[in-house]
Structure 1
Amino acid sequence: MNEVPSPDLRIGDSERESALSALGEHLSAGRLDVDEYGDRSARVAAARTRGELAEVFADLPEPHPVFGTPPPAPAKAVQPKPPGAVAYSDRPLSQRVSAAMMPVLFAGAIVLGITTGIWWFIALPFLFGAFAQGIWGKDWDKDRRERDRRRHRS
């Protein structure tokens, strides 16, 4: 470490984290054994000034702690959508078509029931919905699982 800027200046948590990270790299490179790493880590935790922190790294090559700049923020993890929340546009075309046909069929059944006097036609949209779920429902679940697997891989 060349010259420490303002060795009497107090340090904060970000400088201690930077120093501990640098010590970890020295440990993984084999420059420090586990006991010496523990001793130096304790000195880093107890250090109050830049000079005290620089003494820990006096006999070590780079990397050294970074003074005055906070460590980079960790990348935000992408939170997956809840399993029940699926956008309408993510649904398969067959399911969107059958959903769009339901109100039309229901209105048609009401008109047919009123004009002919046969009210059981009102059940046709519900029967169609059950039929559509039986035909296309399992494919939709399979498509959703495949899409979720692709998202998790990337």
Structure 2
Amino acid sequence: MNDDDELWVDSADRKVALRALAEHREAEHLTTTEHDRRQDLVQGAQTRADLRALFADLPSPHPLIGEERDAWEATPGSRPVADTPDGRSNGTGLVLGSGGVVVLGALLAGWWVPAILLACVVVVVTVLVAAH
């Protein structure tokens, strides 16, 4: 039993538990009926021990609940990494975002042909930036 088992469950704990239940359902560790029953129990859980008990009879991995989840999220290697090995963004989002705004503006202004041409340019530049 963990030290934090009697602490109240928060919405993040419930989300983690629901996601884990869905994974166990996909892996066919749970029937649809049992999955649905446990989903209801997640919504009614009051303590972290209540949530952990829902996974006691299931194979690993078990969801990280409470302080375990917080520590995992704070671990540098546990978060999604940036687009490049050195940790910097490669600019794809900037190209897509700014290009999308320009294309949307052209469409709203009624400039259909320029909007289509701009969209093609944005796609090509995005592919080139992402490949670099």
TM-score bucket (shorter structure): 0.5 to 0.7
Q: Does 1:81 align with 2:101?
A: yes
Q: Higher Cα Rg: structure 1 or 2? A: 1
Q: Please, which of 35, 38, 43 is the counterpart of residue 36 of structure 2?
A: 38
TM-score normalized by the length of structure 1: 0.51
Q: Please, which of 11, 15, 18 is the counterpart of residue 17 of structure 1?
A: 15
Q: 1:82 and 1:45 mapped to 2: Cα distance?
A: 44
Secondary structure, aligned partner of 1:81: helix
C-alpha RMSD of the superposition: 3.0
Q: Does 1:53 align with 2:51?
A: yes
Deviations 1:72-125 (A, max 9, x none): 79xxx864214237xxxxxxxxxxxxxxxxxxxxxxxxxxxxxxxxxxxxxxxx
Amino acid at match of 2:120: E
Cα displacement (A) at 1:146: 2.1
**How many residues of Structure 1 are paired with residues of Structure 2 in the alignment?**
96
Q: Give the gaps of 5 or more residues in structure 2.
A: 74-78, 81-92, 107-112
Amino acid at match of 2:49: G
Q: 1:39 and 1:27 mapped to 2: Cα distance?
A: 12
What does residue 8 of structure 1 align with? 6
1:4–1:81 distance in 2 versus 1, CA, 3 Å: same
Q: 1:27 and 1:33 mapped to 2: Cα distance?
A: 7
1:8·1:50 contact (CA, 8 Å) conserved in 2? yes
1:51–1:142 distance in 2 versus 1, CA, 3 Å: closer
Q: Give the gaps of 5 or more residues in structure 1.
A: 86-137
1:44–1:142 distance in 2 versus 1, CA, 3 Å: closer
Q: 1:60 and 1:39 mapped to 2: Cα distance?
A: 14
1:4·1:50 contact (CA, 8 Å) conserved in 2? no
Q: 2:29 and 2:45 mapped to 1: Cα distance?
A: 21
What does residue 110 of structure 2 align with? none
Q: State the identity %.
A: 29
What does residue 124 of structure 2 align with? 150
TM-score normalized by the length of structure 2: 0.58
